[in-house]
Amino acid sequence: MIKTVTLNPSLDYIVNVPNFKASAINRSNEERFLPGGKGINVSQVLTNLGLPNIALGVVGGFTGDYLVKLLKGKKINEDLIFQEDVLTRVNVKIRSNSETAINGQGPDISEDTKNKLLNQIKSLNKGDYLVLAGKIPPSMPSNFYLEIMKSIKNKDIEVVVDAEKEQLKTSLSYRPFLIKPNEEELGSVFDVEINSNSDVIHYAKELQKLGARNVLVSLGEKGAILITEGNKVYFGNSPKGELINSVGAGDSMVAGFLYGYLKENSFEEALKYGLSCGAASASSEELATKDDVMKLIKNITIKTLEE
């Protein structure tokens, strides 16, 4: 079983506004709500691929009710904790000649809710996968991912971490199965600028020294590099397509990687599915479907860079 954790889920309010102008009244010509949050995105793509999973996290208020309704409509299995005194945040995405995003801070999560979530996670069994994705809300300890990993340290659970800088670094001592920074996030961990594939490989291996077992670095339209715990280094291209929506592409890559790895027991196939899912989401209004993934995957080539 795969469980994803989204500590700060959202309703994403997508608004198309022709010729958007600041400091003026603008009128939309299209608008819709989508479920948001990195772990929820992973769950949605896994569901689209037909891989069973459960989305965990915290919601509240009428926005939380509507988020759950959207998930049920997409047939995403969830076991979200409802906290009565908070509102699930709304993220506003304004699409015009360019895209502008306004992301909410998120709720104050209570100690009782935090403990309920930890108890849900402790129910995982040997061989299960746990995906910890996205930022930790300001109301929670910044090392909460580490606290989660400590709670299951003796259960042989495979943990995937997709987080930024300090939240990523603090998780590494518990040897997560996979981490997935992008180039910018990789550089920020070490306060350096990443300028080449050689830089990517060097600093990804530094993350392995800190405890990460497998490091998947997304390079946007250039593709991705995977450094495995067996010291294999793979590069895969990103299939070409029109960029329509960058939101969720990285989360889709995580979902595709897990799907490929569990389906084929191969890091090369995992990378191939990860790249295909990321590209399928980037070139769609919503997240990757299996049909789109299978159309794109034939255009991906995996190369060994070094051993």
**In the numeric block, which tokens belong to residue 149?**
């990993």
Q: What's the CA gap between 69 and 158, in Å, rounded? A: 30
CA distances from 38 to 10, 30, 86, 249 (A): 9, 24, 20, 10
Per annotation, catalytic residue among 108, 251, 291, 292: 251
Q: 3-state DSSP: the chain helix, strand, coil percent, rounded to 5? A: 40, 25, 40
Distance CA 223, CA 233 (A): 14
Is residue 184 within 8 Å of 165, Cβ to Cβ?
Answer: no
* Residue keyed to tokens 């593709």: 223
- 24 in Cβ contact with 104 (< 8 Å): no
Per the annotation, the verdict on 251 as an active-site residue is yes
Residues 151 and 170: their CA atoms lie apart, in Å, by 15
Q: Which residue has the tokens 């590494």?
A: 172
Residue holding tokens 């600041």? 22
Helix (H, G, I), strand (E, B) or coil at 129: strand
| CA gap 117, 5 in Å, rounded | 9
Active site residues: 251
